[in-house]
Each structure stands twice: as structure tokens, then as C-alpha cells.
Structure 1
């Protein structure tokens, strides 16, 4: 397990970033693993929506563990989005993450955004990070700050202050979703002494540009889940209108069946 966690750490390289696609169920994760991705993450929106629950509301702890258990046998390194840890008690967060680590999870995302649209106090988040690292020292903790995501005033100073606090607590990486400004990303990668994770956004900079900005990890977030929903709606509309319904690269029934372990375990 230590070797797998070490391998995940090593994938975070400025100048050669990890493209981390985010899955929401066994089929999506298995397909991404079969596509050659060495590591995948989960998307909290996809996990929540698939279960009929609200994202970011600390109500998907059980679903998240259940998904990690289903994905444990896949030949891929798995990082799990745990929202804000599903608790404000650092000890409870550490206990929860320890359970995930026991299932083979090699990394987590831990965010500072709250369900009410405000940011948690950085000391609270730092305490969670420290507790997790004390419990599972070699787990990759990607501390996410939602300063841009929640449109705070003058986000750069807050982002840097939070990033430094989370790093001091032991965070291995810093995730700053919401900004696609390459100049800002360069400042972040230059002034944060850890791998910086950017969120790929449609219409924003591509992988080559993000690489040049010094980003060490590029996540797709909920994009793939939303794209799958969009493709399903488009296919239904095409059927209704009498147009073509099979997009290029559509997996066959047999190919999807092949993603399921023998015996359905």
C-alpha cells in the first residue's frame, strides 16, 4: 500500500501534470482505468446526484465509502473527494479517512467551502488536515480552498494564506478550483511550496497551457458526469426528432459488461 501511495505522490509533477479524471460509479471508474489512466478521482457531485442527494451538504459519507469499496479491485490509484470531511471534528474526519485508506484509497480532497456558501476558518481546516496526516501519514491530502469558487473579495491573498496554513498542517497538495487565469495560476504555483491542482473548465486553458503555468495536477471535477448526462439527453432528443443517436466511440453492450468483475463482485 505504501508503494501505491508513493506512486500517487510521484505523479504530481510541475511541467508534467497528472490529468486526473473524476468518476462517479464503478462503470465510469472501470472505463477510465481501462483507458490507461494510472489514477482517477471521484466527483462528489456525481456521487451525490447518482444517489439522489445534495452535493456539499455532508450527507454522502456512506455512499462515498461504498463507492471506494466497489472500486478497490480496479487496477488504478484512487483519490476520493470527501467534501469537508463530513464532520467538523478533526478526530472524526481522521477516523473516516482511515477507513477509506484501509480500502486502498491513496489520496483525498478536503475542502474549506461550507454548505451555506461561506469558507470555514482556516484553523479548522488545518486541524482536519493535521489529524488525517497523523492517522495516515503517507496518504496524499489535497487541500482545496474555495476562495475563487465562492467568489470571495480579493481572493489571491486569502488563497495564499490558506494554502500556507494547510501546508504547515501537512497537506501534500493545494487545489484551487474556479480560476482559469493563467497569470494567477503562475503566481499560485510560484508561491505555494506544493503541487498545485487546477480544475479543467470548458472554454478555459488547455492542458498544455496549464502545464506551462506550473500546475502539477489537472482534475476534471464533475465535467465527465455532466457530459454523460448531456449525452443521454441529446440521444433522447435525437430519437424524438428522428436523427442519429449513436455518438462516435459509444461502448457496446458487451464492452460495458466487460467492465464488471466476474460474478458481479
Structure 2
């Protein structure tokens, strides 16, 4: 595990988009670091689902704070998914972000599955940047994700309001049509972030102007499905994954022991 030599902001300037895998606990974050990812996001869905709660409703506030703080010792940049900032008051949102110790945050412009006024979200972005100008604020536009005012003109109106407020990047989950992506990246003056889209490789997205790609809750959901597949295969007396095709107990134990050492040194 080497200390990252590139800033989180600079990672958005490579030839290919920054691929940001989203972790839901320490073990998944360690696996991503071991795989060579220089930056890791968290997923609010995975964080709360692993604790038995549904996503949304600001339920990930404390679990995300706790996870971000323990992951801070890793030799990777951490970006926290903080839903809508967990408060309507911009200064409270800024207080929360200031205490996370992360390189970036992802903050969405919807609450309770409804879009909020762009001015309200812009105020949160501005408050965070005033308090922590070093934190990379990825402002999420939920028009396509929620199917509300889902069109280029409204998405651009919101995106550029957040850029004017100081957003370092714009995240538009749910958009995948090449024509829409070209339009967005052509008219948003900061890195545009999308979710992994079937049929669109990192190279293809780069040609469309996309600078960052997030996996969202996909790795968490895939991990759960893989666990069920192992159990059902044993039950059905089918072949299970060979020991060489999955991390060994020893490998995962090694990661955790090293993480414990890093945590002790930073205490």
C-alpha cells in the first residue's frame, strides 16, 4: 500500500476517466486499495444496507462519518457519499464535512426522493467550500436519477448553478445516452461524473468528455449476489469457486492486520 503521489483533483485529469470504486466497509475498502485504486468512494446504500437499514432519509449520516474517519489512514484518497448533506442548513452541512477528514464529498440535490431548489443546494456547496476549500465537492444533479425534470436544459441549469457556487465536479447519475453526455460535458466547465453504464467503456466515456466514473452500489450488490451464489451452489451440489479465484483467508487477514497497524500509528 503506497501513499498516493497525486492529489485527488489531479486524478480527474488523466487520459481515461477516474474510476472510483465505492466501498461499504473497511474490508471492501482494503480490497480496492490492494487492487491498486488510488481513490475510493463510499456508497450510502451499501453502508446502511449492511447495517440493516434502507437507503435515504439521511440514515447514513453516522455510519458514513464513522467509516470515513477509520478509512482516513489508508494510502488512498477517500470521497464520502453524504446524501443531501444530512441537513437543510448549509452551515450544518459544512460542519459535518469539515469533520470527516476526507479528500472529497458527493452531495445530491434531492431530499426524500424530491429535487430541491437549485439555490438551496448551491448554498450548501458554497458553505462547504468556504469552510473547507481543499475538499473536492462533487455536486450531484438528480434529474435523471429521479426522473424529475429529466432533460439537458434543466440538468445544465442546475449543474452550472453549483459550479458558480464552487463545485469542483458535477455528478449526473442515470444519464447514459451518448448525445446527452456530449451535451453535458460540452457545457459544464468542471469534470463530469457518471455511473458505470452498460455498453460504455472508460475509453468510450473519455471520448464523450466524461472525467469520472463511479461504481455506486454495484460492487456491494454484486458481492451479496456472489455470496448467495456460493451458498446455493453448495446446496445444489454444484461446483463452487476455486480457492485460487477468490481472496484467501490469509490475504484478507493480512490486509486487516496491516490496517490495524496503520490505525494504531495514527492514533
What TM-score do you get using the length of structure 1 for normalisation? 0.93
From 213, 216, 223, give the equivalent of 2:211. Answer: 216
Q: 1:195 aligns with which of 191, 196, 199?
A: 191
Residue number in structure 1 paired with 2:224: 229
**Cα contact 1:15–1:214 (8 A) shared by 2:** no
The CA deviation at 1:245 is 1.5
How many residue pairs get aligned? The number is 258
Q: After TM superposition, where is structure 1 displaced by more than 3 Å over at least 4 residues in a row?
A: 261-265
2:161 corresponds to which of 165, 170, 180? 165
Partners of 2:98 and 2:59 in 1: CA distance: 18
Deviation per CA, 1:44-75, whole angstroms, max 9, x where unpaired?
10001011122121022111111012211111
- Preserved CA contact (<8 Å) 1:20 1:219: yes
Equivalent position SS for 1:67: helix
Question: In structure 1, the residue corresponding to 2:83 is in which secondary structure?
Answer: coil
1:6 Cα deviation after fit: 7.2
Q: Which runs of 5+ in 2 are unaligned?
A: none
- Aligned-pair distance for 1:16? 2.4
Take 1:45 and 1:89, find their aligned partners in 2: how far apart are those partners?
23
Partner of residue 82, structure 1? 82
2:145 matched to which residue of 1? 149
Cα pair distance change 1:32/1:169, threshold 3 Å: same
Cα pair distance change 1:147/1:173, threshold 3 Å: same
RMSD of equivalent CA atoms? 1.8
Equivalent in the alignment of 1:238: 233
CA distance in 1, matches of 2:5, 2:148: 34
The C-alpha deviation readout for 1:136-190, integer Å capped at 9, x for no partner, is 0111000001100011245211100000100010000000000111111011000
Contact 1:39–1:78 at 8 Å: present in 2 too? yes
Partner SS for 1:8: coil
Secondary structure (helix, strand or coil) at the match of 1:75 reads coil
Give 3-state SS (helix, strand or coil) of 1:210's partner.
helix
Contact 1:200 1:219 (8 Å CA) reproduced: yes
